[in-house]
Chains A and B, each alone.
Chain A
Amino acid sequence: MSHAATHDQHDDHHGAPKSFFQRWCMSTNHKDIGTLYLVFALVMFFIGGSFAMLIRAELFKPGLQLMQPYFFNQLTTMHALVMIFGAIMPAFVGLGNWMIPLMVGAPDMALPRMNNLSFWILPFAFTLMLSTLFMAGGGPAGGWTMYPPLSLQSDSLAYVVFAIHLMGISSIMGAINIIATILNMRAPGMELLKMPVFVWSWLITAFLLIAVMPVLAGAVTMLLTDKYFGTNFFNPGGGGDPVLYQHIFWFFGHPEVYIMILPAFGIISEIIPTFARKPIFGYKAMVFAIASIAFLSFIVWAHHMFAVGLPMGAEIFFMYATMLIAVPTGVKVFNWVSTMWGGSMTFETPMLFAIAFVILFTIGGFSGLMLALVPADFQYHDTYFVVAHFHYVLVTGALFAIIAATYYWLPKWSGRMYSEFWGKMHFWNSVIWVNVLFFPQHFLGLAGMPRRIPDYNVAFANFNMISSIGGFLFGASQLIFLGVLIHGVWFSKKKATDRVWEGAKGLEWTVPSPAPHHTFEVPPVIHDDELAHGHVND
Chain B
Amino acid sequence: MKKTMTVKELADKLNLKILTEGDLSREATGCYSGDLLSWVMSRAGEGDVWLTVMGNVNAVAVAVLSDCACIVLTENAPLDDTAKEKALQQGVTFLSCDRNAYELSVEISELI
Q: Is the A/B pair a real complex?
A: no
